[in-house]
Structure 1
Amino acid sequence: MNRDIIVIGAGIMGLTAAYELHKSGKKVTVIDEGNITDCTSFGNAGLLSAFDKGPLSNPGVVLDTLKLMFKGESPVILHPTLDKKIISWLWKFINSANPQRLKRTIALFEKYGQITIDKYKKMQEEDGLDFDFQHKGMLSLFTNQETYNKKIKQYSYEDETRFKILTKSEIKDYVPCSNEKAKGAILFKKNAHLDPKKVITQLKEYLENNGVEFILNEKITDIQFSEDKIEYVKSATKTYEANTYIMSTGYQTLLADKLNKELIMTPAKGYSITFNMPKEYEPLTSTLFADLFIIMSPRKDDVRLTSKLEIGSTNPAVVKKQIDSIKENFKKYTIPFEMSNEKLWAGFRPLTPNDMPLIGRDEKYKNLIYGMGLGWLGMTFGPSLAMILNDLIINDLENKDCDDILLFSGFYQGKY
């Protein structure tokens, strides 16, 4: 079969890239080691939170995390390790958390986050896709007075299109299950949320129905390359050829390692609990318990809690201790209610040390494109990054000719 593009990996980055390239008239094949029913994108909170929400590597993050650890409320779990790659990542993460980088990152988040929101709307309108997209803002609920006071200082002006500071009674209206321990809340109106499972399943169905080839349950284990290009990729039993290859393998770096390409990212394990609860207690919109890093996302048929950032773990299983920890911390700030029909999930997110995705053309192998390192912001940036990669491929650009790559790719961020 004559293929223009092979996309390796069918998470949000891989599928949106396939979508854009198909729209541009390319013959696209998507290869994934699973069957696209439980990938990392499925466990996402579904937040589109590019506005008024800082990156992970923000000033004060280390001290704030230590404070939460002493209270037993920290979402971060750091397993003792001598792995040099993880130690290097942590050092770069700490050094990335500075005011200068924060200002730049927030500007980039807003630029590409808005492109993504517009794209999701367009995909639904033009292609009839149903993502359960809700543009109702994101509520940040604070359980610590000090952090609330610090945040409120940043919003000492009026902008009704951007945010609203809620009164105590309004907090209860937005999050009926919250209790009196809530110190304050701000509704950030430009953010949105959707159902990540619907995004993945709807995109896959649309692409299949429109001629995109899917090869599932097929793990690509090797790359054959010549002096300056990829010749083919192979699994245990087959080889696959195309003109261009997109590597969108999440946290897995096996293929990049074979090319001696060091990708500065680490797998961070996260958890989600999807459940039913009394309708009268459901939040009106996606709610971030900001001091706990617990996200509560209302959906059409259920509610999801997502939390935890587990560094240094290689265990893919759902660990009951971590689920219990999420519930325990969450219940400190909510009234009692029953969580029924619970579905538990755990998966690894590919985190870069400065929250910048790893996108762009390989410097040596010109027909290899990277689309990785989206971390916890896959849904927030997947479509906008896919548009960048599409532009790079369709117009046969070098990285240096693409302003978006130079702006937003972790390959061009200079010193951490």
Structure 2
Amino acid sequence: MKRDIIIIGAGIMGLTTAYELLKAGRKVTIIDENDITDSTSFGNAGLLSAFDKGPLANPGIVFNTLKLMIKGESPVNIHPTLDTKIYKWLWKFVNSANKDRLKRTLALFEKYGHISNDAYEKMQNIDGLDLDFQRRGMLSVFTEQKSYDKKLLDYAIKNDDVFEIIEKNKIKEFIPCITNDVKGAIHFKRNTHFDPKRTMLELKRYLKENGAEFILNERISHIKYSDSKIESISSALNTYEADTYVISTGYQTLLADKVNQNLVMTPAKGYSITFKMPKELQPVTSTLFSDLFIVMTPRRDDVRITSKLEIGSTNHQIVKKQIESIKENFKKYTVPFIMEDIVEWTGFRPLTPNDMPLIGRDEKYKNLIYGMGLGWLGMTFGPALASILKDLIVNDLENKNSDDILLFSGFYQGKY
């Protein structure tokens, strides 16, 4: 049986692409090697951080990381490895962290962030998906005076629609568990947050109820192709044929490798800790501890903190030392309280060296589409990028005919 569209990978990119295609009247099959209960998308902080929050590749990242390493607070660990691809990625990352690229990236983040926020709001309010989507902004808390003063210079011109400088004696109104050791805070009003697990499960439910086919716990390992198109894909047990194939496999590049597409991307291991805490101490909205690379997000039933970035790690297990490091850095600036019903998680995020996702049609195999490389911003941009891929497929466009692909895809914005 030949299918219409097969999406390989059921993270946020795969599910939102399926959602957009179903809305456009197409038939979709989603294949994933797991059961969609614990993918990288599930471990996201839930902060949709498209606004007033610098990308990973920013001009100060190298110096700030070294400074935090000396203090023992660094969120980044680079593991020694013989994999030369990682060192090439690091070199490109360092060269991407410049002011010109930062300006361009921030403008793109805002453009596509608005699209994603509106899409999530529509899913919740019109389609009835319970995402716990909240438009409450993001509180950025600073633990270093120098970085706070620098940020104040960037926001010296008053703009009540975008941000508010929070007086120190009022910070506890936003995050009651904070100590007086923080130097200051800014409330950025355009950011939003939701519950990633709830969102993934709700998308899965909606897709199934509206006709999407799910083939789970089956790993696609082989691609058969002709000169100009993909003929079929196979697992160890089955072969599947479709008119169009979408690869959305997160950090895993096996299938792209098989069609000789060298994706400039590396897996970056991150951690989250989900727990219950006294209601009176919970933050009002997502809080970014800017100098610690820690995000704290309130949800309906609990709270989640996320941090750490390990480059070069191949260990899929939770490293207790990393979890304890997150807790120690977090506790330096919060009042004592007991974390209850703790759930620890780790997973790999697919990072490109310049924060640009790898989206678009394969130049050789015209029925093959990529939706990858979203890094730590998968939840933030998933719906916006899914809409771009939907237009590409439904209107049978080439990459050059999509302004969005030319603007926001690492295939075309990949110069370092």
TM-score, with normalisation over the residues of structure 1? Answer: 0.99
In the other structure, the counterpart of 1:325 is 325
In the other structure, the counterpart of 1:410 is 410
CA distance in 2 between partners of 1:123 and 1:355 (Å): 26
- Residue identity in the other structure for 1:280: E
Give yes or no for contact 2:2–2:240 (8 Å, CA) kept in 1.
no
In the other structure, the counterpart of 1:5 is 5
Equivalence map 1:7-46=2 (5 Å): 7-46=7-46
Shift of 1:414: 4.2
| RMSD of Structure 2 on Structure 1 (CA) | 0.6
Matched, 1:71 2:71: yes
| C-alpha distance after superposition, 1:304-351 (max 9, x if no partner) | 010000000011111100000000010011110000100000000000
- Residue identity in the other structure for 2:31: I
CA distance in 1 between partners of 2:41 and 2:171 (Å): 30
Give yes or no for contact 2:354–2:414 (8 Å, CA) kept in 1.
no
In the other structure, the counterpart of 1:371 is 371
* SS of residue paired to 1:165: strand
Shift of 1:170: 1.4
Give yes or no for contact 2:271–2:344 (8 Å, CA) kept in 1.
yes
Equivalence map 1:12-411=2 (5 Å): 12-411=12-411
* SS of residue paired to 2:148: helix
CA distance in 2 between partners of 1:129 and 1:64 (Å): 40
- Residue identity in the other structure for 2:219: K
| C-alpha distance after superposition, 1:62-120 (max 9, x if no partner) | 00100000000010010012311000000000000000000000000000000000011
CA distance in 1 between partners of 2:99 and 2:205 (Å): 43
CA distance in 2 between partners of 1:357 and 1:380 (Å): 12
Between stretches 100-109 and 165-174, larger displacement belongs to 165-174
| C-alpha distance after superposition, 1:200-246 (max 9, x if no partner) | 10000000011100000000001000001000000001001110000
- Residue identity in the other structure for 2:155: Y
- Residue identity in the other structure for 1:213: E
- Residue identity in the other structure for 1:109: F
CA distance in 2 between partners of 1:56 and 1:362 (Å): 26
CA distance in 1 between partners of 2:211 and 2:244 (Å): 18
For the structure 1 residues 304 and 414, does the alpha-carbon distance in structure 2 shift closer, same or farther, using more than 3 Å as the test? closer
CA distance in 2 between partners of 1:292 and 1:330 (Å): 8
* SS of residue paired to 1:218: coil
CA distance in 2 between partners of 1:63 and 1:371 (Å): 32
CA distance in 2 between partners of 1:27 and 1:117 (Å): 25
- Residue identity in the other structure for 1:89: W
- Residue identity in the other structure for 1:44: N
Structure 2: state its 5+ residue gaps.
none
CA distance in 2 between partners of 1:343 and 1:130 (Å): 22
Shift of 1:415: 1.9
CA distance in 2 between partners of 1:86 and 1:170 (Å): 44
Shift of 1:2: 3.6
CA distance in 1 between partners of 2:413 and 2:148 (Å): 31
Give yes or no for contact 2:232–2:242 (8 Å, CA) kept in 1.
yes
Between stretches 73-82 and 242-251, larger displacement belongs to 73-82
* SS of residue paired to 2:131: coil
* SS of residue paired to 2:37: coil
* SS of residue paired to 2:242: coil
CA distance in 1 between partners of 2:156 and 2:208 (Å): 50
Structure 1: state its 5+ residue gaps.
none
Give yes or no for contact 2:174–2:285 (8 Å, CA) kept in 1.
yes
CA distance in 1 between partners of 2:170 and 2:312 (Å): 40
Shift of 1:300: 0.2
* SS of residue paired to 2:411: helix
Give yes or no for contact 2:48–2:379 (8 Å, CA) kept in 1.
yes
TM-score, with normalisation over the residues of structure 2? Answer: 0.99
CA distance in 2 between partners of 1:409 and 1:246 (Å): 15
* SS of residue paired to 1:3: strand
- Residue identity in the other structure for 2:105: T
| C-alpha distance after superposition, 1:115-168 (max 9, x if no partner) | 000011111122111100010000100000010011110010111110000011
- Residue identity in the other structure for 1:350: P
CA distance in 2 between partners of 1:300 and 1:415 (Å): 42
CA distance in 1 between partners of 2:197 and 2:322 (Å): 23
Between stretches 395-404 and 77-86, larger displacement belongs to 77-86
